[in-house]
Chain A
Amino acid sequence: MKYLQLVWAALLRRKTRTLFTLLSIGAAFLLFGLLDAVRSDFARAGATVNGVNRLVTISKITFTMQLPKSLLERIRAVPGVADVTYANWFGGIYQDPKNFFPTEAVSPNFLDAYPEWRMSAEQRAAFRNTRTGAVVGARLAKQFGWKLGDRIPLQGTIFPQKDGSNTWIFDLVGIYTVDDPKLKAQENALLFNWDYFDEARQFGNGSVGWYVERVTDPARADAIAQQIDALSANSDHETKTQSEHAFQLAFVSQFGDIGLIVGAIMAAVFFTLVLLTGNTMAQAVRERIPELAILKTIGFTSGSVLGLLLAESVLLLLLGGVIGVLIAGSVATTLEAATGAVFPPIVGSAAIWARALALMLLIGLVVGALPAYRGLRLRIVDALAGR
């Protein structure tokens, strides 16, 4: 620590060069912050603590095929099932197909299965008692400027009403929030009452899209899932039950190998960065050979010269990297405000910081290694003579 000033002075020796190098490093870690946030968001999809005690039952044939509602009571009777709820995908459009958000018709007890979605008791009661009531996530409400009491018209893409009309109008009676910053993206759904939906739709009446079961003991989830599937074995509506985590993971992986794409981009970025800062460090050391020789002359050991040079490159990487990740955080916030998109947290995420800092240290040591070795092997007489 006592040599910090010395390292600092070395960095300030050529201010422009240090500044440009810092900006390059900053750009690389700005990208790292943004891409790593997106990648880990995809990798984590569904891996919530709450997800482990929920099972999802869909048709074994295909996820779009409906299941009879008569399964409800039979699933409820399976030992180990604490509660069961059900929903239908509605596929509603608000104003423009580009404004996509999930719209689902849900059973009265649906929100009880999702305790992480928080809503006041009055709003829950209002939702239960308003036939055409709907609840939305806080983010979605903010995006479209919806307030309690608003009437929200949706265009149904799958289900027309009995009279053939595609327009469904709902009364906004509740707004739910999600506290966990990692799950904030879930504040974007619109839910409405399944009973109203079933009464009003033209076809498919009495069938549900999927069941969600809460189990008392997550350790027995697999056995319970098998028991649920056994209920409809060899019928014309065989089911497939899996944990919510597995269900979402399988779905997200279908968008493509996000990890691979991000990995390839990051490899290109950091390969370039290593070369670039490595070159800067080599230059910095080459210019200072006589100075390093003087340091050795006045009693610095070869080891401490090595340490000084390594510290210099690591400090350079740390400075630029931290600035880059911080900028990534504010870029994400700006994007969220401007587009309404939901960005996973960057600056607040310990995992992203840990990966970023590890990379900074590693790259700092790698690019410092060769120049530092040169400092270590330096012979005072030759160096002072300028040979």
Chain B
Amino acid sequence: MAGRRNRWVSMAAWLGIWAMLLAALVLLVIVPGWLLALLLVPLALWLAGTRIGRQAWSATEVAVATIPQRLGSSSVVVVGIAGVVGVLVALLAMAAGFAATLRQSGSDDTAIVLRAGAQTELNSVLDHDTVALVSQLPMVRRTPAGQPIASGELVVVAALPKRSTGLDANVELRGVGERAWDLRPNVRVIAGRRFTPGLRELMVGKRALQQFAGVGVGSSLKLGGQDWQIVGEFASGDASESDLWGDVDVVGPAYRRGSGATSVTVRLTDASAFESFKAALATDPRIKVDVKTTRDYFNEQSAQLTTLINRLGTAIGLIMGIGAVFGALNSMYAAVAARTREIATLRAVGFRALPVIVSVMLETMLLATLGGVAGAGIAWLLFNNYTASTLGANFTQIVFAFQVTPELLWRGLKWALAIGLLGGLFPALRAARMSVAEGLREL
């Protein structure tokens, strides 16, 4: 009877441990930083203030002091977790960088008008009359001189060789109207000058210059069968930096698009004017267009790729994390086995089971934290501001920089702690259940 009862008790304990573990993992992943920091306070108080807590603290000191004797297996925990966190943070930083580049391209008080159903500028065609009609609406802000801040723009695709591969890749050649500068006040010339309207002159975005060969200020290149001069370089901090800019009235004929445009972007009198602007366009029978705030337009463009990379990064991190958990389990079981006599001695001189469990857990968490910090640090060193490019919605290269944000570093650290928790708990329980008498006899 007693045997059966014992089995039930141990099974209940087993289930309890698993439930606790899962709850702890969920908590770890969702809790905000301040809450976790707050939890550290009672732990510290317990370690310092109670008798059993002080026991746990000195047991931990012993465990940590013996780490140098087990450097090989301890480093497995650190490196394994660093690998997981490094890859996770780097992949998420790629998604964050891409999303941020496109998010900065948009705002709530500018709106983009495309032909109905077109989705992207590349697919859209607007005739000259539509551009004029849209620009003249009263919701469009005007310059002090009374001109509407609206730019009918023409996006065409040019092929230029990439510096890295020498292979042709698509670059966005954007013909802009003369009000484009008022529309995008963040665009500033950092070398050379603006293009002269009416001439075959171009400006190159900072990022495009980094990625493509032969577009430096002062060089000339052949596009659309004609020679163009690059007269300036601009920076804007958003997706425009991946473009070449020219006068829409010159780009159009060169690409046989006449006086048409692909989009009109306007600055609204203020963000609240968007709804009436949209309504005015929808009710005008002369035009069939779609309108969005530029913030929505650019966010939609980044959503798909960002979600994909985030999911992939998490999935890869999970698989690597499973590997790291088993690695940590092996190492910590080995650590407990190597310290059998030590732990048995502690128990013999009056240390209870709980301090022993806590000490093994704290040791693992310490190693996990080291791994998490190392992994996140390496990802930050190698990949923060690392530039890459991919195809955007207009089938042209969008250049962006990886962003290793504090939020991502924190997320990496939480993953490290979760792996440490899983990898440390079972070895800790084994350490506590060890028979003292047998342990003391162990060589």
The chain A residues found within 8 Å of chain B, CB to CB, are: 16-17, 20-21, 23-28, 30-31, 35, 60-65, 91, 93, 97-98, 155-158, 160, 164, 166, 203, 236, 238, 250, 253-257, 264-265, 268-269, 271-273, 275-276, 279-280, 282-283
Let me know if B117 and A64 touch, CB within 8 A: no
Chain A residues whose C-beta falls within 8 Å of the C-beta of B120 in the assembled complex: 157
Q: Shortest beta-carbon distance, A349 to chain B, in Å?
A: 19
CA distance A157 to B158 in the complex (A): 21
Known: A61-B225, A275-B80. 16 other contacts (CB 8 A): A20-B329, A21-B330, A60-B225, A62-B159, A63-B159, A64-B122, A65-B255, A155-B117, A157-B117, A157-B123, A158-B118, A160-B288, A253-B165, A254-B170, A268-B86, A272-B80
Let me know if B83 and A271 touch, CB within 8 A: yes
The answer to whether B137 has its CB under 8 Å from any CB of chain A is no
Let me know if A272 and B324 touch, CB within 8 A: yes
Within 8 A of A (CB), among B119-148: 119-120, 122-123, 125
Within 8 A of A (CB), among B100-129: 115-120, 122-123, 125
The answer to whether B316 has its CB under 8 Å from any CB of chain A is yes
Let me know if A164 and B327 touch, CB within 8 A: no
The answer to whether B75 has its CB under 8 Å from any CB of chain A is yes
Q: Which residue of B lies closest to A18 (CB)?
A: B330
Within 8 A of A (CB), among B286-326: 288, 304, 316, 319-320, 322-324, 326
Q: Which residue of B lies closest to A236 (CB)?
A: B256
Known: A23-B326, A256-B388, A268-B87. A64 touches B157 (CB 8 A): yes
Known: A157-B117, A157-B123, A279-B331. A24 touches B86 (CB 8 A): no
Let me know if B288 and A164 touch, CB within 8 A: yes
Chain A residues whose C-beta falls within 8 Å of the C-beta of B76 in the assembled complex: 275-276, 279
CA distance A254 to B394 in the complex (A): 12
CA distance A160 to B118 in the complex (A): 10
Q: Shortest beta-carbon distance, B224 to chain A, in Å?
A: 5
CA distance A276 to B213 in the complex (A): 44
Q: Which residue of B lies closest to A256 (CB)?
A: B390
Q: Name the residue among A156, A253, A268 with the largest chain B CB count within 10 angstroms.
A: A268
The answer to whether B436 has its CB under 8 Å from any CB of chain A is no
The 10 nearest A-B residue pairs measured at CB: A27-B323, A166-B117, A272-B83, A20-B326, A276-B327, A157-B123, A24-B323, A256-B390, A62-B157, A24-B326
Pairs across A and B, CB under 8 Å, 23 listed: A20-B326, A20-B329, A27-B322, A30-B319, A35-B316, A60-B225, A62-B157, A62-B224, A63-B159, A93-B119, A98-B304, A157-B120, A166-B116, A236-B225, A250-B167, A250-B169, A254-B391, A264-B90, A272-B80, A272-B320, A272-B327, A275-B76, A279-B73
Q: Shortest beta-carbon distance, A346 to chain B, in Å?
A: 14
Chain B residues whose C-beta falls within 8 Å of the C-beta of A26 in the assembled complex: 323
CA distance A181 to B313 in the complex (A): 27
Known: A98-B304, A272-B83. A61 touches B165 (CB 8 A): no
The chain B residues found within 8 Å of chain A, CB to CB, are: 72-73, 75-76, 79-80, 83, 86-87, 90-91, 115-120, 122-123, 125, 156-159, 164-165, 167-170, 223-225, 255-256, 288, 304, 316, 319-320, 322-324, 326-327, 329-331, 333-334, 388-391, 395, 397
Let me know if B333 and A64 touch, CB within 8 A: no
Let me know if B157 and A275 touch, CB within 8 A: no
Q: Shortest beta-carbon distance, B256 to chain A, in Å?
A: 7
Chain B residues whose C-beta falls within 8 Å of the C-beta of A276 in the assembled complex: 76, 80, 323, 327, 330
Chain A residues whose C-beta falls within 8 Å of the C-beta of B333 in the assembled complex: 16-17
Q: Shortest beta-carbon distance, A352 to chain B, in Å?
A: 17
Chain B residues whose C-beta falls within 8 Å of the C-beta of A24 in the assembled complex: 323-324, 326-327, 330
Let me know if A269 and B83 touch, CB within 8 A: yes
Let me know if B87 and A265 touch, CB within 8 A: yes
CA distance A17 to B167 in the complex (A): 50
CA distance A157 to B322 in the complex (A): 44
Chain B residues whose C-beta falls within 8 Å of the C-beta of A273 in the assembled complex: 323
Let me know if B322 and A279 touch, CB within 8 A: no
CA distance A120 to B205 in the complex (A): 52
Let me know if B168 and A250 touch, CB within 8 A: yes
Let me know if B316 and A265 touch, CB within 8 A: yes
Let me know if A31 and B165 touch, CB within 8 A: no
Known: A254-B391, A279-B73, A283-B334. A27 touches B117 (CB 8 A): no
Chain B residues whose C-beta falls within 8 Å of the C-beta of A268 in the assembled complex: 83, 86-87, 320
Q: Shortest beta-carbon distance, A297 to chain B, in Å?
A: 21
Residue of A31, A64, A65 touching B316 (CB-CB under 8 A)? A31
Known: A27-B322, A160-B117, A276-B76. A62 touches B255 (CB 8 A): yes
Residue of A62, A166, A236 touching B158 (CB-CB under 8 A)? A62
Chain A residues whose C-beta falls within 8 Å of the C-beta of B324 in the assembled complex: 24, 272
Q: Which residue of B lies closest to A25 (CB)?
A: B323
Known: A65-B255, A253-B165, A275-B75. A269 touches B158 (CB 8 A): no
Let me know if A272 and B334 touch, CB within 8 A: no
Q: Shortest beta-carbon distance, A241 to chain B, in Å?
A: 14
Let me know if B118 and A31 touch, CB within 8 A: no
CA distance A264 to B87 in the complex (A): 9
CA distance A64 to B165 in the complex (A): 23
